Amino acid sequence: MARFLLSWPESTQGKRPYSKAPKSWPHLAAFNRRIAEILNTPLEIRDDGTLSPTLLTLTPEAKQAFITYHDTIETQLGEGGELRDVRDVASKTADNAARLAALLQWFEDPQGTIEREYFERASRIAARHLNESRRFFGELALPSDLVDAVRWITGSSTTVGRRKCR
């Protein structure tokens, strides 16, 4: 589970009034075109039949952002740290952010380097999922009657164990 990006959103049932769909979805159409381009790109295959994937590297600025993100998380893994209870997930979050940055970069501009802006976007996504992991595993660790009591007191099903990681 440590390498997964967990999410456990609150249900919106009962809060979704009808709204008419737009006649066109230009961003969705652009997304679908780009996905089709990617899927239709021939794979690079070596003479021995194995894949030859493109290696993406971090620019020096993106690498510095990675190091900063990694070290910020790392300091919170120790005894008494904010992320101690989910340290297996937290210890993988910088790597997950780098993988996401590669995907974001490749989707928009399939060059050989990952720019800082893509890593920063990806680290925000990874941090969001890290917070979701804390909430998810925090609720799993509590007895169900205690979870119900906290939900009743707070009036929410999503506040147990929630804290923001930066």
What pLDDT, in 10s, does the model give residues 65-97? Answer: 999 999 999 999 988 888 988 889 999 999 999
**Per-residue confidence (pLDDT) for residue 145, from 0 to 100:** 63
Q: Is the pLDDT of residue 118 over 90?
A: yes
DSSP symbol at 92: T
Name the nearest CA neighbour of 125 among 11, 7, 8: 7
Strand stretches in 31-89, DSSP E: 57-58
Contact 87, 143 (CB under 8 A): no
Higher pLDDT, 156 or 124: 124
